[in-house]
Chains A and B, each alone.
Chain A
Amino acid sequence: MASKDISGSQPGPASTKSLERPGDRIFSGSARGAGVFILVILAAVSAFLLLKGIPAITADPAEIGLLDGSTFWEWVGPLVFGTLWASALALLIAFPLALGIALFISHYAPRRIAAPLGYIVDLLAAVPSVVYGLWGGAVLAPALQPGYSWLAENLSFIPFFAGPASGTGRAILTAAIVLAVMVLPIITAVSREVFIQTPVLYEEASFALGATKWEMIRDVVLPVGRGGVISAAMLGLGRALGETLAVAMVLSATGVVTLNLISSVNPSTIAANVALSFPEAYGLNVNALIASGLILFAITLVVNSLARWIIERRADFSGAN
C-alpha cells in the first residue's frame, strides 16, 4: 500500500520539466514569432526582388527604354564592372591606411588617448553618406582637379591616367577616395579589435628576444590578426559595394568600361545608377533597375559570406587560444 503510494507520487522524468505557465508560453511564443518574422522579411525581400526583377531579364529588350537597344546583360555588365572597380579602388586606398590607424591606436598611441582616438575614428562612420556625397562633390572634387590635370599632362602614358582630365574633378578616383573615407572606420574598428587581442605574452616574448617594436608587430601582431584583418577588408568591401549616394553625387558617370581614373567619362555603379534613374523610371524600366539591385544584393551576399567564413575559421584556429 505504502509502496504503491510512493510509486503513485513518483514524479519520474516529468519533474525535470518545469511548470509551463501561460506567461511563459506567451513570452517565448512572441520571441520565437519575432525570430520567424525576420526570416519572413528576408524571404519577402528575395521573393519581391525576384518577382519584379525577372520580367526585365525575360522581356524583349526593345520594350525597355532604359536599355537603349542593348540586351539586359549588356546594360548591366558595365554597371557591375563600375561597382567592382570603384569598390576595389576604395579598398586599395583604405586598407593600408586603416591598418596604420588601427596599429597607431592599438600599439603606438599613448594608452590614455587611445580610446578617444578610437572614438574619433568611429565618428567618421556615423556621418551620413549624403553628407559625404555633398563634401565629395562640392569640396573634394574641385580640390583634386588640379592634381588630375597635372597627372594627365605628365603621366598620361600610364593607362590609368590617360586623360583627358575631368574638368570638374568628378572622376572615378574622386568617388573611390570618398568611398575609402567611408569604409575606413569599419576596417579600422575590426582590425583594432583584433590587434588589441594579441596575447601580451607573445608580444613580451618578442621584445625579450630583442625585437624592435616594428619587428614585434611584423612577427606577432600581424600574423595573429591576419584572419581578422582580411575579414575586416571584406566587410569594408561589402559596404563600398552597396554605397549609393556618395557615388551618385560625386561621379559624373556615362556607363562605359574604362580603366581611366581621372577622365570625365566614367563607369557608373549599380547603386548610383538606380538612385539616379529610379525617380523617373516607369513600366519595365523599374523592373530592369530592380533586377540590377538583385545582382548587387547577390554580389554583396557573396562578399559578406566570404568575410563571415574567414572570421569563423579564424575563431577555430586562432593563435590566441
Chain B
Amino acid sequence: MSIVAMSGKPQNVFAAGKLPNYASGLLLLVALVVSLTVFSVFRPAGEPYEVNLVLVALVAIVIFGALLSAVSLRIEGRRKAIDRVATLLVTFAFLVALTPLVSLVVIVLTNGLVRFDLDFFTLSMRNVVGFGGGAAHAVIGTLIMTLGASLVAVPVGLLTSIYIVEYGSGKRLTRYITFFVDVMTGIPSIVAGLFAYSLFELILGPGTRVGISGAAALTVLMIPIVVRSSEEMLRIVPNELREAAFALGVPKWLTILKVVLPTSIAGITTGIMLAIARVIGETAPLLIAAGFSNDFNFNIFQDRMQSLPNFVYYSYIAQGSNPEATLERAWAGALTLILIVMVLNLAARLITRIFAPKIAR
C-alpha cells in the first residue's frame, strides 16, 4: 500500500534488486549486435574479406558475459553476479563440447556420402588405381575378426563374471581376478596388438600378420569390458530370487542358468554389444597384428586381413597418385564405421529398455 503510494505505480517487493527475466536475452542481443558491427566495420583494407562467424560468436559471448556481470553486479550484488557468470561458463562449456561432435557428424556425412554407394560395399581394392574400388574386403575382415574375438571374449568374460559374483565372493582368486581385470582395462590398444604379434610370431614364424592374431588382440581388449558390465548386471539380480530357487531344491548351477542369467540377460546383452562397438573401431592393434591387404580374405588363419578402421587409416596415410579418390573412400569408410557403432549403441539401449526385468516395483 505504502510502496504503491510512494512510487506511484504498483511494484513487486519480491522482485526488487533482481534482474527481470528478459534481461539476459536482451543483453545477449546487444552483445551480438555489437560484435557483428565491430567485425563488419573494422575490416582489413583492400582485400576481399569474409566475416568469420565463429569469431563473431566468441566475441559476442565475451561481451555478453562482461555486460551481464556488470549489470548484475550493479543491481543484484557480487554473489548474484558470480552465480550468473558461473551459469554462463557451465553452459558455454557444454556448447563448446558439442562443437566437435556437430562438426564431426556434418563433415563425415558430407564427405562420406560421396562414395557411400553399392560399389563401396561390393568391391575390394584389388588392382584399383584412382577412382572406383570399395571396402567390401575391409568390412568382411572387420566382421570376421570381431566375430572371432567375441567367440572367445564373450564366454570367458561371462563365465568369469559368474565366478566373481556367484562362486568366488571373498575368495583370494576373486580379488586377484578383479584387480587384474582392472589392469587389463588399462592396457593401451596398441600394446594388445604388440602382444598378439609377439604371440603369433612365436607360433607361426617372424613377420606373421594374420587375421587370428588381430582377433587375439581384440579379445584382450574385449574381455575386461565384458567382465565389468556382466558383473554389474549379475550383482543387481535380487538375492531373493536365488534364495527362492534354492528353497525349491534347485541346484546352484541350474539356479544360475535358469534364474540369474534370464533375469539379467538384457543388461548382459547390452554390455556385450557395447563391448563389440568398442572393439570394432579399434585400429592400432589390427594395424600391428593383422596387417593390411587389398584383397578379400575369408580365412582367419591365413594371410593378412584388412579391417575397416585400417582401410580408413591407410587411405589417409598413403593417399597415392589420386588423393581425391583415396580420401573419398576414407570418408566413406569413416561414415560406415560410425554407422555401425551407432547402430550397435542404439540397439544396445533399445534392448535394455524393452527387455529389462521389471524388478523395481
Contacts and interface: CB of A to CB of B under 8 A. Distances in A.
A303 B288 CA distance: 24
A297 B167 contact: no
B79 interface: yes
The majority secondary structure among interface residues of chain A is helix
A77 interface: no
B288 A38 contact: no
Interface residues of B, number: 92
B253 A304 contact: no
Given A45-B195, A128-B337, A212-B79, A296 B188 contact: yes
A31 interface: yes
Interface string A236-275: 0010011111001100000000000000000000010011
A32 B283 contact: no
Nearest to B198: A48
Contacts of A35: 159-160, 163-164, 168, 173-174, 177
Contacts of B155: 34
Nearest to A249: B316
The majority secondary structure among interface residues of chain B is helix
A284 to B, nearest CB: 12
A112 interface: no
Given A96-B93, A131-B338, A274 B194 contact: yes
Contacts, number: 258
B253 A28 contact: yes
B342 interface: yes
A130 B309 contact: yes
Contact of B313 (A30, A100, A103, A130): A130
Nearest to B159: A34
- Chain A CB count within 10 A is highest, among B80, B91, B195, for B195
A257 to B, nearest CB: 22
B205 interface: no
Interface in B246-290: 251-254, 256-257, 277-278, 280-284, 287-288
Contact of B252 (A24, A133, A300, A304): A24
A293 B83 contact: no
B331 to A, nearest CB: 7
B169 to A, nearest CB: 13
A35 B198 CA distance: 23
A86 interface: no
B227 to A, nearest CB: 7
B56 to A, nearest CB: 15
Contacts of B166: 31
B190 A274 contact: yes
B89 interface: yes
B251 A244 contact: no
A91 B349 CA distance: 29
Nearest to A131: B334
B107 to A, nearest CB: 5
Given A45-B220, A51-B198, A275-B287, A32 B168 contact: yes
Nearest to A117: B94
Given A120-B98, A128-B337, A249 B313 contact: yes
A196 interface: no
A29 to B, nearest CB: 10
Interface string B300-321: 0000000001101100110000
B93 to A, nearest CB: 3
Interface string A64-102: 000000000000000000000000000000001111110
A42 interface: yes
Contacts of B251: 19, 21, 23-24
Given A45-B195, A123-B101, A130-B337, A27 B253 contact: yes
A161 to B, nearest CB: 19
A26 B167 CA distance: 13
Nearest to B202: A48
Contact of A38 (B86, B156, B162, B330): B156
Contact of A212 (B83, B182, B189): B83
Contacts of A303: 186
Given A21-B251, A49-B194, A304-B183, A31 B163 contact: yes
B345 A245 contact: no
A21 B91 CA distance: 60
Interface string A272-295: 001100110010000001100110
A191 B189 CA distance: 24
A120 to B, nearest CB: 7
B129 interface: no
Contacts of A24: 251-253
Interface of B: 79-80, 82-83, 86-87, 89-94, 96-98, 100-101, 103-104, 107-108, 155-160, 162-164, 166-168, 173-174, 176-177, 180-192, 194-195, 198-199, 202, 207, 220, 223, 227, 251-254, 256-257, 277-278, 280-284, 287-288, 291-292, 309-310, 312-313, 316-317, 327, 330-331, 334, 337-338, 341-342, 345, 349
15 contacts: A31-B159, A35-B164, A100-B94, A104-B94, A120-B98, A130-B283, A130-B334, A131-B281, A138-B327, A139-B107, A244-B190, A245-B309, A248-B317, A274-B190, A297-B188
Given A23-B251, A126-B277, 8 more contacts: A38-B160, A48-B195, A48-B199, A97-B93, A127-B338, A134-B331, A214-B86, A275-B287
- 7 smallest A-B Cβ distances: which pairs? A100-B93, A128-B281, A242-B188, A34-B159, A27-B253, A304-B186, A31-B163
